[in-house]
Amino acid sequence: MKVYLVGGAVRDQLLGLPVSEKDWVVVGASVDEMLKKGYRQVGKDFPVFLHPKTNDEYALARVERKVGLGYTGFDFDASPKVTLEEDLLRRDLTINAIAQSEDGTLIDPYHGKEDLDKKILRHVSLAFAEDPVRILRIARFAARYKNLSFHVADETLILMRQMVNMGEVNALVAERVWKEWERALQEKNPEEFFFVLESCNALSVLLPNFDVSGVGIKALSRAASLSADADVRFAVSLFTFNLDQAKIICERYRVPNNYSELLMLLIKHYQDYQSAKKLSAIHLLEVLKAVDVFRREARFKKFLFACEIIAETLSELNNSEWLNQVYLAAKNIDMKAITAKNLQGNDIADLIKQTRLAAIENLIDDV
């Protein structure tokens, strides 16, 4: 059997970028041989193994056949006869279809190195059209390598449009969409993910109310330049959605709570953030409660940060400092004095509330 390094590791090494994970392809071996050598099989039906020591992924070279619509409709052949070239042919992009043998030689039948030099994201073969996840992957790679001036090849874009027309994008599973979306949010230029999806017409299928020339996308690039927080990036990018639209999208893609909650807070309370300096103490305390700041301080900070990004994008007021002062005033009340009164149940809650209100009123009077 022969083993080659493939995929992201070869690509990123050629780009001079750090390599985080290594994927290997094994040619001329059977499942039994791999098991005998001590590799552990990952899925029971899939010819992918983990190295007994390094835990790197080793996949038997395979060819794939499409047998149904969407992501699940695949059958494959991973017999020892499958060649390296055949395996590389089923990969998504030419820059991801370069193999490197143990002595360092590159095996690059689809000219990935040339596309790396030309900064082109190009599909390897027409088999690309068999898996709509590849559309999301291209959009994600575009987001990752935008700063290196990578762009999608014209012929690849045409193929992606055809796939969208054929209804392939409708067949995507929610988990796969979210997985790629979440990873895209962590890239250097996450806005590029949406631009590419828009340019192949997939965006209106995936996110019907998303406007790539709107405030959300501008806020997203701003957020990406300021912070790595994917949940903040997510929230500001969907800021223009109304609550119903946001709920539908979060449910549809089973978006994790930390993302969806921040988005909902931003949509519900950005106006309060804007008018914060005119609000009464009662109203301010209600906002703090609604944001659940006394139990979720870290999320409150993210909320303020998201509001700040929207405010800058819209040239509106930055009220973070003020709301933070209001919060601190309400938080730093003398709890000992309250417990010393030996009150019961609701009476304690009432006194806490009155004390907080008084603290906020004092603060308002001071400024």
Taking the complex as a whole, the smallest distance from the CB of residue 222 to ligand ATP amounts, in Å, to 25
Q: Is 15 a residue that touches Mg ion (CB under 5 A)? A: no
> What x/- string results for residues 19 through 58 when contact with Mg ion is judged by CB under 5 A?
--x-------------------------------------
> What x/- string results for residues 72 through 101 when contact with ligand ATP is judged by CB under 6 A?
-------------------xx---xx----
Alpha-carbon distance of 268 to 243, in angstroms, equals 8
| Interface of this chain with Mg ion, residues 275 to 294, rule: CB under 5 A | none
Q: Is 156 a residue that touches ligand ATP (CB under 6 A)? A: no
**Candidates 126-134, 235-243, 305-313, 356-364; binding stretch for ligand ATP (CB under 6 A):** 126-134
Chosen from ligand ATP, Mg ion, none, partner binding at 190 (C-beta under 5 to 8 Å by type): none
With b for 16 or more beta-carbon neighbours within 10 A and e for fewer, the 85-104 pattern comes to ebbbbbbbbbbbbbbbeeee
Q: Is 12 a residue that touches Mg ion (CB under 5 A)? A: no
Alpha-carbon distance of 233 to 161, in angstroms, equals 27
For residue 111, give the DSSP letter: -
Taking the complex as a whole, the smallest distance from the CB of residue 93 to ligand ATP amounts, in Å, to 7
Closest to Mg ion by CB, 8 vs 80, is: 8
Q: Shortest CA distance to 349 belongs to which of 283, 280, 268, 285?
A: 285
Instruction: Out of 131, 168, 187, 191, point to the residue binding ligand ATP (CB under 6 A).
Output: 131
Give me the amino acid identity at 139: A
Closest to Mg ion by CB, 8 vs 28, is: 8
Q: Is 56 a residue that touches ligand ATP (CB under 6 A)? A: no
Q: Is 109 a residue that touches ligand ATP (CB under 6 A)? A: no
Residues in the chain: 367
Closest to Mg ion by CB, 59 vs 255, is: 59
Chosen from Mg ion, ligand ATP, none, partner binding at 92 (C-beta under 5 to 8 Å by type): ligand ATP
> Across the chain, how many H-helices and E-strands are there?
18, 11
Q: Is 122 a residue that touches ligand ATP (CB under 6 A)? A: no
Q: Is 7 a residue that touches ligand ATP (CB under 6 A)? A: yes
Q: Shortest CA distance to 220 belongs to which of 178, 249, 191, 186?
A: 191
Q: How many Cβ atoms are within 10 Å of 32's Cβ, its own excluded?
A: 8
**Candidates 127-135, 260-268, 319-327, 350-358; binding stretch for ligand ATP (CB under 6 A):** 127-135
**Candidates 34-42, 130-138, 150-158, 305-313; binding stretch for ligand ATP (CB under 6 A):** 130-138
Contacts 24+ apart (CB under 8 A), 167-172: 167/69, 168/69, 168/70, 168/129, 168/132, 168/135, 169/132, 169/135, 169/202, 169/205, 169/206, 170/205, 171/69, 171/70, 171/71, 171/132, 172/70, 172/71, 172/132, 172/133, 172/136, 172/206
Instruction: Out of 3, 8, 28, 316, point to the residue binding Mg ion (CB under 5 A).
Output: 8
Alpha-carbon distance of 130 to 145, in angstroms, equals 24
Alpha-carbon distance of 220 to 239, in angstroms, equals 10
Alpha-carbon distance of 36 to 55, in angstroms, equals 16
**Contacts to ligand ATP by CB under 6 A:** 7-8, 21, 23, 91-92, 96-97, 131, 133-134, 137
**Contacts to Mg ion by CB under 5 A:** 8, 21
